[in-house]
Amino acid sequence: MRLNILIVPGDGIGAEVTAAAVEVLQSAARRFGHELLLSEGLIGGAAIQKTGSPLPAETLEKAMKAGATLLGAVGAPEFDSLPPEKRPEKGLLGIRKALQVYANLRPVKMWPALIGSSPLKSEIVAGTDLVIVRELTGGLYYGQPRGLDGDRATNTMSYTRGEIERVARKAFELARGRRKRVTSVDKSNVLENSQLWRKVVSEVSRDYPEVELDHLLVDTCAMQLVLNPRRFDVIVTENMFGDILSDEAAVLAGSIGMLPSASLGDGRGFYEPVHGSAPDIAGRNKANPFGAIGSAAAMLEYSFGLAKEARAIEDAMGRVLASGIATADLNPARAATTSEVAKAVCEALAGAGAAA
């Protein structure tokens, strides 16, 4: 099978983690007999430096032609003083909107080998396996009007019934193949926007009678994530709440560097690790590539229908973690480099193929 993939390294550690993910994709392609057609594009600060725009038209054109896009990270401190519409993050928001990827899946799994890496007690995090489904193209990040006018700033949280319904259906369909439970998160005791959210999600749930639905306020959900994470299967929520909760959930996995994500719509997929650009360690071969590698595995499954290949990559990741090979955020006493982790995953993947 030919896999047409756009690689967008972005800023900071993005280049290092995407290079690691590409190595693993190449190893998987060799093992399973696929052909990779890779192209590369600019986004974020790297794009601003070369083109003046955080999302050049050429990158967007390549993304529209590719079967899927893999991003590294976006953001650089030298651009922090720019107005919002000119900052690197505007490129990320723009490409998500253009690709119409409205559902962001963020799986959070406690790998057995990493139980000691979480700051939470082992008995709390053991067995954690949940997915946060974050609405990605609406809410405060896109709502109009918005702007900064002297001493007054305005942002608008806006959702339509259709926007809520389509992401809710993604969550219920995902739960069907898991433990059949959806938790919808809102702030309906304060926000009219959330009142519509709760109403529409409840209505959608009637089409999925085999899936249990409960509702939580976002502050309660934030507390329960660190008190009883095993209660959750699939969490569905709006854009800003999902952004915050998924970063909080990083403590359950031991490091934010472990978290992959898949952004899906009704067509092309967009994949990225949850972490940021980490400029303090950029270029030092220290970044954790597991989130990017996991994102590449998700890409194979969701965009190309290659579930067996995705499971093979995840199994290889598990074997590497069990062996103790990990970057400093997970194993400071015996820290491996980014490239050493990528090499180990490739060897585990190839070795499993030979054994099979």
180 part of the active site: no
Q: How far is residue 76's CA from residue 277's CA, in Å, rounded to a whole number?
A: 7
Residue 247 among the catalytic residues: yes
Question: Does the annotation count 170 as an active-site position?
Answer: no
Any catalytic annotation for residue 65?
A: no
Listed in order, strand segments (DSSP E) in 11-165 are 35-40, 68-73, 103-109, 129-135, 147-149, 152-154
Q: How far is CA 253 from CA 226, 315, 322, in A?
A: 11, 16, 14
Among residues 62, 170, 187, 286, the one annotated as catalytic is 187
Per annotation, catalytic residue among 97, 129, 247, 315:
247
Indicate which residue of 102, 141, 208, 271 is catalytic. 141
Q: How many other C-beta atoms are found inside a 10 Å radius of the C-beta of residue 151?
A: 5
Which amino acid appears at position 199 of this protein?
K
Catalytic member of 11, 233, 243, 329: 243
CB 211 within 8 A of CB 172: yes
Instruction: Write the DSSP assignment of 39-72 as a string of letters.
Output: EE---HHHHHHHHSSSS-HHHHHHHHHSSEEEEE
- DSSP H or E stretch at residue 264: strand 262-264
Which member of 214, 219, 280, 308 is catalytic? 219
Task: For residue 187, indicate whether it is catalytic.
Answer: yes
Q: Is 70 helix (H, G, I), strand (E, B) or coil?
A: strand
Catalytic center residues: 141, 187, 219, 243, 247
